[in-house]
């Protein structure tokens, strides 16, 4: 049994090393593993059920997520929460939506940046996106979790690096027919939707649209400053669904 597990793990690690985007797939695997082992998945019996499980989830999100009021006035460890929150997700829909976006847009972006630069870019922009949200909502006691800020940064960088890449979009007003548009059409449209949703978002828990916009701007700005016009890449096709999930 142990021998079979070691063989399977060894094959997985070799495949990961040989892929062109190892950090993208590693980030996806880590987020999925953390979610499955945590209380939000509902798969770990030790967290209990019913109200006991709900209480465990609230405590878990508060410990590992960003609580704006505590980030600026709490203990020093709170400064780490914008980084830890990137790997925590609130539901299956939340996780799968974010990981789908990372899977589609992350691989090509990592190939262009390189694995080390991409990793620092992902974590750094994600941290700053959550920090920006917390600064704008400094009195909030609501915990914020999710990789959406970092993934939004990947979208912003992708837009600059691969503006002509064809992206598959599912448009609800066209009965969710899959249509292909260049990234320079789809991704600004996505960002515009986030801006409009931000203006209509109610106070309290929900989708942190501001973190999406901050991350998107940071990602686009980083790619623009770091790579410039001469290194912009035109690529073939990159299929991706259009949509967004809460962070």
Alpha helices in 85-232 (DSSP H): 92-113, 115-136, 148-161, 183-200, 209-227
Report the CATH number of the 2-231 domain. 1.20.1540.10
Question: Residues 194, 213: contact at Cβ < 8 Å?
Answer: yes
Which helix (H) or strand (E) segment is 28 a member of? helix 22-37
Low-confidence spans in the chain with pLDDT less than 50: 1-2, 4-5, 8-10, 12-13, 15, 172-177, 236-247
Give me the pLDDT at residue 98, please.
94
Give me the pLDDT at residue 245, please.
39
Give me the pLDDT at residue 243, please.
38
**Joined tokens for residue 70:** 């505590």
Give me the pLDDT at residue 76, please.
83
pTM for this model (two decimals)? 0.82
Enumerate the active-site residues: 148, 212
Instruction: Quote the CA–CA distance of 46 and 70 in Å, as a whole number.
Output: 28
Give me the pLDDT at residue 225, please.
95
pLDDT tens digits, 31-60: 999 999 999 999 999 998 999 999 999 999
Give me the pLDDT at residue 173, please.
38
């Amino acid at each position: 049994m142990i021998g079979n597990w070691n063989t399977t793990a060894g094959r997985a690690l070799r495949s990961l090393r040989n892929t062109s985007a190892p950090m993208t797939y590693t980030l996806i695997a880590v987020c999925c593993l953390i979610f499955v082992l945590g209380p939000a998945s509902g798969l770990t019996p030790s967290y209990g059920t019913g109200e006991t499980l709900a209480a465990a989830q609230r405590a878990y999100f508060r410990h590992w997520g960003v609580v704006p009021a505590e980030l600026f006035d709490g203990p020093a460890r709170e400064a780490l929460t914008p980084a830890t929150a990137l790997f925590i997700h609130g539901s299956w829909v939340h996780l799968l939506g974010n990981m789908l976006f990372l899977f589609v847009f992350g691989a090509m972006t990592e190939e262009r940046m390189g694995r080390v630069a991409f990793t620092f870019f992902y974590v750094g922009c994600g941290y700053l996106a959550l920090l920006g949200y917390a600064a704008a909502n400094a009195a909030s006691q609501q915990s914020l979790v999710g990789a959406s800020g970092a993934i939004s940064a990947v979208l912003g960088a992708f837009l600059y690096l691969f503006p002509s890449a064809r992206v598959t979009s599912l448009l609800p007003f066209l009965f969710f027919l899959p249509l292909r548009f260049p990234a320079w059409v789809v991704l600004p449209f996505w960002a515009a939707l986030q801006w409009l949703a931000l203006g209509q978002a109610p106070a309290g828990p929900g989708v942190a649209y501001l973190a999406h916009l901050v991350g998107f701007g940071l990602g686009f700005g980083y790619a623009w400053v770091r790579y410039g016009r001469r290194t912009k890449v035109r690529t073939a096709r990159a299929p991706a669904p259009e949509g967004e999930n809460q962070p």
